[in-house]
């Protein structure tokens, strides 16, 4: 039975399931007839006594007979009708339970499918973007550098589409968590906007960011989600503005009870849109106009996801626009007060240079994909480290037993022994190498994957496709102990 049904309905259906209708229906008719006859006879006797009538057995018998005939005539179709209703209710209930089970299975299948597709797409994409980053750091002609830039931009666009689909799935499943942590508000917003400065310059568009003096420098908010929303709005503004201006205005409204409200206005002088286009703008997989997708590209998911995230953060995204005169998007979200640490409690901040990895350090890279191993080796080669490779967890354990390593970069999905089994084996080994720092390099990027792997014993986590800056930061945090200090 469905747990969502009322208790009395579940009890009734369970009782009727155990009962045989061929036995129950005659018993119900007999009970109803007997009760009605007895009630009529007793009522007739009481009426005789109240009015002082002479006791007449014939009258009592006649009343009982009429009552019995009437109740029998009424109870038979009534019981049969009730039995039919119960059968239909039971059938409908079973259908609802079956539909609910199918919906749960479908939801689980969709989540599994998205997780698998995300992994399968991210793995080869890691090779594409990784090699592009390696090429970008070499000596090239201007034409070659432009080609590499195109490769990276196309790869980043594909990765953004994958992330959008995953975000949409997580939001619909109610699995998106807003994590408010003390962060630099100015750096989060300015950093998200300045990513598109070079693109704006290519289009001869001026990008300007202005903070109201009253806007706090540090606050408690979800920096990742704020950057995602701001980045989407600025990206769209730059995309639809040529030889114009994109201005980002940031101000804060005080509200001690609910948390201060930050307003980020992104104003452009681009193509603009009419009211009909604005009404469609925040729908999933929709652009303001069908021609926009053909001319400018995009999935039509970014604004829909950003608005949902903004509402989860206690705010919203609204738009004001006019064709030919540009658009103004307003993002609002709540922030909490941030208590600054004392001088003795200042937490270390990563420099992004992987300073914890000294030249000549030994790094074990365990990944079943040869291209991914080569990408990591090439990304770390400027540091002068010694790289050793393993194709699975069994080989990784053998390498650890044979010699000492300063760091292990461990893939999660590998044959023979995967990353999860490997990290458990490493931590369970009563050997000096069981404490070797291990960073997960994985295409598992669904909600909870990072936390799950850290709980297993990983010291750090980097999602594929690997961004060299993110990799350096994570290595520095893990090897210098700053990761544990920041988490404290």
Task: Please report, for the chain, the start and end positions of each structural domain, with discontinuous segments joined by +.
Answer: 7-108, 116-172, 181-340, 348-487
pLDDT, tens digit (0-9, with 9 covering 90-100), for 379-397: 898 888 999 999 999 999 9
Q: In this predicted model, which residue has the larger pLDDT, 181 or 342?
A: 181
pLDDT at 344 exceeding the cut of 70: no
Give domain 348-487's CATH superfamily.
Response regulator (3.40.50.2300)
Alpha helices in 137-206 (DSSP H): 142-172, 185-194, 197-202
- In this prediction, residue 481 carries a pLDDT of 73
**Alpha-carbon distance 409 to 383, whole Å?**
15
pLDDT at 209 exceeding the cut of 90: yes
pLDDT, tens digit (0-9, with 9 covering 90-100), for 58-86: 777 787 788 778 877 877 787 777 778 87
Global pTM reads 0.57
pLDDT at 342 exceeding the cut of 50: no
Considering the domain delimited by 181-340, tell me its CATH architecture. Answer: 2-Layer Sandwich (3.30)
- In this prediction, residue 118 carries a pLDDT of 74
Place of tokens 């597709």: 117
Percentage of the residues of the chain whose pLDDT score is greater than 90:
28
Give the DSSP H/E element, type plus range, for residue 182: strand 181-184
Please answer whether residues 196 and 238 qualify as being in contact, where contact means their C-beta atoms are separated by less than 8 angstroms. Answer: yes
State whether residue 246 is helix, strand or coil. strand
Nearest to 98 by CA among 87, 109, 90: 90
Range with the lowest mean pLDDT among 35-44, 184-193, 254-263, 342-351?
342-351
**Alpha-carbon distance 172 to 302, whole Å?**
15
Percentage of the residues of the chain whose pLDDT score is greater than 70:
83
């Amino acid at each position: 039975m469905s747990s969502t049904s009322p208790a009395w309905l579940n009890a009734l259906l369970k009782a009727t399931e155990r009962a045989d209708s061929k036995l129950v229906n005659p018993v119900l008719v007999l009970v109803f007839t007997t009760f009605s006859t007895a009630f009529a006879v007793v009522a007739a006797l009481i009426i005789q006594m109240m009015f002082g009538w002479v006791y007449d057995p014939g009258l009592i018998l006649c009343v009982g007979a009429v009552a019995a005939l009437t109740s029998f005539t009424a109870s038979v179709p009534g019981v049969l009708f009730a039995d039919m209703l119960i059968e239909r209710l039971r059938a409908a209930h079973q259908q609802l339970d079956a539909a609910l089970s199918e919906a749960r299975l479908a939801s689980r299948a969709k989540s599994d499918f998205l997780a698998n597709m995300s992994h399968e797409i991210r793995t080869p994409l890691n090779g594409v973007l990784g090699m592009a980053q390696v090429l970008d750091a070499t000596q090239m002609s201007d034409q070659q550098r432009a080609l590499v830039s195109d490769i990276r931009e196309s790869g980043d666009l594909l990765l953004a589409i994958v992330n959008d689909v995953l975000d949409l799935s997580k939001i619909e499943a109610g699995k998106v968590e807003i994590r408010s942590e003390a962060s630099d508000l100015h750096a989060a917003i300015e950093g998200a906007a300045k990513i598109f400065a070079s693109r704006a310059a290519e289009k001869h568009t001026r990008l300007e960011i202005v903070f109201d003096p009253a806007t706090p420098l540090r606050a408690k908010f979800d920096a990742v989600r704020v950057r995602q929303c701001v980045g989407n709005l600025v990206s769209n503004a730059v995309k639809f503005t040529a030889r114009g201006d994109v201005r980002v205005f940031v101000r804060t409204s005080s509200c001690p009870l609910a948390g201060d409200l930050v307003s980020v206005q992104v104003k452009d002088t681009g193509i603009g849109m009419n009211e009909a286009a604005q009404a469609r703008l925040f729908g999933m997989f929709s652009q303001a106009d069908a021609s926009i997708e053909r001319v400018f590209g995009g999935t039509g998911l970014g604004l829909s996801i950003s608005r949902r995230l903004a509402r989860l953060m206690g705010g919203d995204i609204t738009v004001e626009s006019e064709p030919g005169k540009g658009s103004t998007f307003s993002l609002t979200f709540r922030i909490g007060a941030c208590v600054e640490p004392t001088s003795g409690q200042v937490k270390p901040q990563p420099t992004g240079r992987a300073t914890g990895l000294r030249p000549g350090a030994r790094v074990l890279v365990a990944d079943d994909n040869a291209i991914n191993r080569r990408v990591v080796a090439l990304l770390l080669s400027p540091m002068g480290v010694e790289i050793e490779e393993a194709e699975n967890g069994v080989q990784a354990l053998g390498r650890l037993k044979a010699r000492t390593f300063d760091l292990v970069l461990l893939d999660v999905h590998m044959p023979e022994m995967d990353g999860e089994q490997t990290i458990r084996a490493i931590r369970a080994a009563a050997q000096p190498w069981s404490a070797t720092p291990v960073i997960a390099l994985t295409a598992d990027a669904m909600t909870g994957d990072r936390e799950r792997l850290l709980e297993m014993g990983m010291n750090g986590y980097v999602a594929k496709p690997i961004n060299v800056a993110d990799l350096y930061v994570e290595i520095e945090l893990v090897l210098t102990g700053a990761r544990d200090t920041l988490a404290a």
